[in-house]
Amino acid sequence: MRRLYVLAVKEVKELIRDRYVLFSVILAPLLVLPLLSGVSYLAVREAGGALEKAIRELPGNVAVVLEDPGDEMAVEVARRLGARVEGSVEEAVARYPTVVVLHSNFTKNILEGKPAVVTITSRVERPYSLVEVAIVTSLAQGLRDVVSIVLIERFNIDPRLIRTPVIVESKVLYKGELLGGARLTQLYVLNLALAFIIFILGVIALQVGTLSVGTERESRTLELLLMLPISRVELIAGKVLGVSTISLMGFASFLVGLSITILLAPVLFAEGFKGVQQPQTTMHLSPIELIEALRTTSVTSMVVVVALVAIAIAMVSTTIVGILVGVLLAGDIRGALVSGSYIAIILAIPLLVEMMGLSLPTPLQIAFITSPMYPPFKTAQMIVFGETGLATAYAIATLINVTMLLGITVLMVKSERLIYGIRLRKPRVEA
């Protein structure tokens, strides 16, 4: 027993006094979950609030246009929606954020078992926002519910007897342009894809960055590197270039994996979807439709260039952060991997939020700017979605971020610090 105790004490002392273990086992787990859940909570609260507000204000914001003002069921649906009835679509669209058009032969079609057609036109501010897309989707669902209620109460018909009572065509008015559901999805996916790419590439780049310093330290090659007849900036630039190449290779292999998954998805999940009633909205996309939507997305070359520049800047600045984390926290390869992973998760949180297009309270957005991946992404997002003012602001933030990072790194990559590492106390005896 005694020996066991001595052995255990040695183990605890040896491990807990290692500053890399201290960070990866004690500090990082303490931070990561509260940070993740804290940000998720704020994002969800903000999103919930926006959704609630939109639904509360909906009756006042919805106008109904009846193609056939005499249609009994259409009139009843309009009444129950609590919306104003407008004469012409053009006028209604100009004045109301949401316009529901009940097409002619509404009653006749339903009673004959054919679907009645409804067009919902909603104005959106941010087509990449999950909340706004959710509002558009929930409108369609709400409308279907109203039709069901009218069928039961006024016509005594069980709506379940009718396979598809209504087809809802959702249209979105964005900056004066009328988008179909598919186009809206494309814009949403465009934002999602950009955030996703920067997220994955950033996580890879940060880890490779810490690893490159950890490896040098473990194999004791740092001094050779520091003696090279090159400037410190060149040294860092060379590292960044090498690390970026590896990161891109890692990302390419990730893309191959993703493509295989997407291509296999219809086959793999088709079985599971059998028998599931698909909601009849154009908003819904099956994997095959998603691929089709992506294929037909008219991404302009401007968007591609902006996205590539943002991705490159995000990758380079994240790599620099990785190198910095390596200098501060990676005593060896193991330390580099663990600290790299945790810091990568923490710095990638903003991108997780952006993938869903959730809006956040301003203080949190400002905090996010410190993540090397966030300002480049936001700049690209704002350019793509035409918010010039915000795009400029985020571009400036990106510039400040990169400059500060470079400055800190050049200061931190001092040979003394690299050789001895960052210590709470300097070594007592060094020969």
Shortest reach from residue 227's CB to other proteins, in Å:
5
Shortest reach from residue 414's CB to other proteins, in Å:
9
Shortest reach from residue 243's CB to other proteins, in Å:
15
Measured from the CB atom, the residue of 230 and 408 that comes closer to other proteins is 230
Of 66, 78, 102, 55, nearest to 154 by C-alpha is 78
Shortest reach from residue 327's CB to other proteins, in Å:
15
Task: Give me the long-range contacts of 415-422 (CB less than 8 A, separation at least 24).
Answer: 415/222, 415/223, 415/226, 417/327, 418/217, 418/222, 418/226, 418/327, 419/222, 419/223, 419/226, 421/217, 421/331, 422/327, 422/328
**Site size with other proteins, rule: CB under 8 A:** 22
If binding is defined by CB under 8 A, does position 430 make contact with other proteins?
Answer: yes
If binding is defined by CB under 8 A, does position 425 make contact with other proteins?
Answer: yes
E strands, 252-328, in order: none
| Enclosing H/E stretch for 123 | strand 116-123
Q: Which of 70, 229, 272, 363 binds other proteins (CB under 8 A)?
A: 229
If binding is defined by CB under 8 A, does position 399 make contact with other proteins?
Answer: no
Measured from the CB atom, the residue of 2 and 428 that comes closer to other proteins is 428
Shortest reach from residue 429's CB to other proteins, in Å:
6
Contact predicate 85/135, CB 8 Å: no
Tell me, residue by residue from 361 to 390, as one string, x for binding to other proteins by CB under 8 A and - for no binding: ------------------------------
Of 406, 422, 421, nearest to 236 by C-alpha is 406
Which of the stretches 258-266, 316-324, 349-357, 415-423 binds other proteins when contact is defined by CB under 8 A?
A: 415-423
Measured from the CB atom, the residue of 302 and 419 that comes closer to other proteins is 419
Number of other residues whose CB lies within 10 A of the CB of residue 419: 13
Measured from the CB atom, the residue of 276 and 429 that comes closer to other proteins is 429
Q: Which of 55, 94, 228, 404 binds other proteins (CB under 8 A)?
A: 228
Shortest reach from residue 232's CB to other proteins, in Å:
10
What residues from 193 to 222 belong to the interface with other proteins (CB under 8 A)? 218-221
If binding is defined by CB under 8 A, does position 275 make contact with other proteins?
Answer: no
Measured from the CB atom, the residue of 163 and 428 that comes closer to other proteins is 428
Contact residues for 418 (Cβ-Cβ < 8 A; gap 6+): 217, 222, 226, 327
Of 153, 65, 81, nearest to 117 by C-alpha is 65
The Cα 247–Cα 265 span in angstroms is 26
What residues from 286 to 325 belong to the interface with other proteins (CB under 8 A)? none
Contact predicate 374/394, CB 8 Å: no
Which of the stretches 86-94, 224-232, 265-273, 303-311 binds other proteins when contact is defined by CB under 8 A?
A: 224-232
Contact predicate 369/397, CB 8 Å: yes
Shortest reach from residue 430's CB to other proteins, in Å:
5
Angle at 346 between CA 342 and CA 347, to 5 degrees: 115
Q: Using CB atoms within 10 A of its CB, is residue 111 exposed (0-12), middle (13-18) or buried (19+)?
A: middle
If binding is defined by CB under 8 A, does position 429 make contact with other proteins?
Answer: yes
What is the per-residue DSSP string for 128-153? T-HHHHHHHHHHHHHHHHHHHHHHHH
Q: Which of 141, 231, 245, 261 binds other proteins (CB under 8 A)?
A: 231
How does DSSP classify residue 278? P
Q: Which residues bind other proteins (CB under 8 A)?
A: 218-221, 223-224, 226-231, 415-416, 419, 425-431
